[in-house]
């Protein structure tokens, strides 16, 4: 199949493109710059210049391809204010455009969504409904809108990613930011008793699930790309402290947020999740290292401070 991929040169998208090409699919990737286009061409994919704001470009590409994988999201202005609102609105317009282009075709549309939107404080399952209000809740509404496209003849699926998608290519995710914050401050902090949990998955296991969803997920499928159901955040902070040889300290959730910003706010959340139904439905089984093993591998600590 010829697949249109947004976010094709990002952390998730790069792995998805490689996964698709290795499986024999052809890929057309959305590229916002000449450098991104060159990266796609070097990988063996086609490149289409444009951005999520170019709805005509998105519509034409979706209509011309056999399916769409949408991993892009504009993170440029996300902070603890309403900065995410514009990004969420842009994302929704893109998804609606894909839905219109694919309606009645039974072609697949697979999007990247988030576990954190589902059921904070409880083990989220594929049957859990996204909760929340405001800008963050808008992303949950987009998740549900994609699943509802099944009623319009789109083989839609939402791949819900945990807060930590890790791997040795991870340079801008939550874990590198926690590492950089600890290195800069000379202390690795965690909120309260550190018992709140983060679910996690390796980048390459997540990419494999995107391909399985594209190839065989039933219409309207919520899918969880989760390997570790819930790693206590204190354990993450302790690993960071040990590798950086800095003290590890419990502080209030408010202080974690003050120290680390948006990532710190997420670090205070309890975000466990299950992927049991996803594994049963698609036969997906993660085979890469879990989060703790990936931290122990050392690559997160080998990079110099930016």
Task: Look at residue 81 in the predicted model and tell me its pLDDT.
Answer: 44
49: helix, coil or strand?
A: strand
What pLDDT was estimated at residue 119?
78
The residue that leads in pLDDT, 79 or 170, is 170
For the residues 42-46, what does the mean pLDDT come to? 97
Question: What is the three-class DSSP state of 207?
Answer: helix
Query: How far, in Å, CA of 160 to CA of 232, rounded?
Result: 20
Query: Judging by beta carbons within 10 Å of its beta carbon (0-12, 13-18, 19+), is residue 171 exposed, middle or buried?
Result: exposed
Domain assignments of the chain as residue spans, ordered by start = 2-164+200-226, 171-199+229-274+281-301
Say how many C-beta atoms besides its own lie within 10 A of residue 167's C-beta.
23
Model confidence band, residue 79 (pLDDT cutoffs 50, 70, 90)? very low
Decide if pLDDT at 25 tops 70.
Answer: yes
The rounded percent of the chain whose pLDDT value lies above 70 is: 93
Query: pLDDT tens digits, residue range 218-274?
Result: 999 999 999 999 999 999 999 999 999 999 999 999 999 999 988 999 999 999 999
Q: What is the pLDDT of residue 69?
A: 98
pLDDT for 236 equals 98
Which residue pairs, CB below 8 angstroms and at least 24 apart, start in 285-290? 286/201, 286/202, 286/205, 286/227, 287/205, 288/167, 288/202, 288/203, 288/204, 288/205, 288/227, 289/202, 290/200, 290/202, 290/227, 290/228, 290/231
- The correct answer on CATH 3.40.50.720 for the domain covering 2-164+200-226 is yes
Average per-residue pLDDT for the chain: 92
Residues sharing a CB contact under 8 Å with residue 54, sequence separation 6 or more, in sequence order: none
What three-state secondary structure class fits 107? coil
Distance CA 249, CA 257 (A): 14
Q: For residue 132, what pLDDT is reported?
A: 59
Biggest alpha carbon–alpha carbon distance for the chain: 58
Question: Per CATH, which fold does 171-199+229-274+281-301 belong to?
Answer: UDP-galactose 4-epimerase; domain 1 (3.90.25)
In our burial notation (b when 16+ CB lie closer than 10 A, e otherwise), range 93-115 reads ebbbbbbbbbeebebbbbbbbbb
Residue 71 has pLDDT above 80, yes or no: yes
pTM of the model: 0.93
Lowest mean pLDDT among 85-89, 106-110, 150-154, 292-296: 85-89
**pLDDT tens digits, 158-204:** 999 999 999 999 998 999 999 999 999 999 999 999 999 999 999 99
> Band of the pLDDT at 73, cuts 50, 70, 90?
confident
- Backbone phi, then psi, for 274, in 5-degree steps? -110, 150
């Amino acid at each position: 199949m010829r697949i249109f991929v947004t976010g094709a040169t990002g952390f998730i998208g790069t792995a998805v493109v490689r996964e698709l090409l290795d499986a024999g699919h052809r890929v057309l990737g959305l590229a916002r710059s000449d450098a991104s286009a060159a990266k796609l061409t070097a990988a063996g994919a086609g490149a289409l210049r444009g951005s999520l704001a170019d709805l005509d470009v998105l519509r034409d590409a979706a209509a011309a391809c056999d399916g769409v994988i949408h991993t892009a999201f504009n993170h440029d202005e996300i902070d603890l204010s309403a900065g995410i609102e514009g990004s969420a609105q842009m994302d929704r317009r893109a998804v609606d455009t894909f839905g219109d282009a694919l309606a009645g075709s039974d072609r697949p549309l697979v999007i990247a969504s988030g576990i954190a939107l589902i059921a904070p404080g409880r083990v989220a399952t594929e049957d859990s409904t996204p909760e929340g209000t405001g800008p963050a809740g808008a992303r949950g509404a987009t998740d549900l809108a994609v699943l509802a496209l099944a009623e319009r003849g789109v083989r839609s699926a939402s791949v819900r990613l945990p807060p930590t998608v890790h791997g040795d290519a991870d340079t801008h995710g939550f874990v590198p930011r926690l590492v950089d914050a600890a290195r800069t401050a000379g202390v690795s902090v965690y909120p309260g008793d550190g018992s709140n949990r983060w679910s996690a998955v390796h980048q390459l296991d997540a990419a494999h699930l995107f391909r399985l969803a594209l190839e065989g997920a039933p219409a309207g499928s919520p899918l969880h790309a989760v390997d570790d159901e819930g790693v206590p955040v204190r354990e993450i902070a302790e690993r960071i402290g040990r590798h950086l040889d800095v003290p590890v300290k419990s502080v209030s959730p408010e202080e974690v947020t003050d120290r680390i910003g948006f990532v710190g706010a997420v670090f205070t959340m309890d975000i466990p999740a299950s992927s049991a139904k996803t594994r049963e439905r698609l036969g997906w089984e993660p085979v890469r290292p879990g989060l703790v093993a990936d931290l122990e591998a050392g690559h997160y600590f080998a990079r110099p401070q930016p």
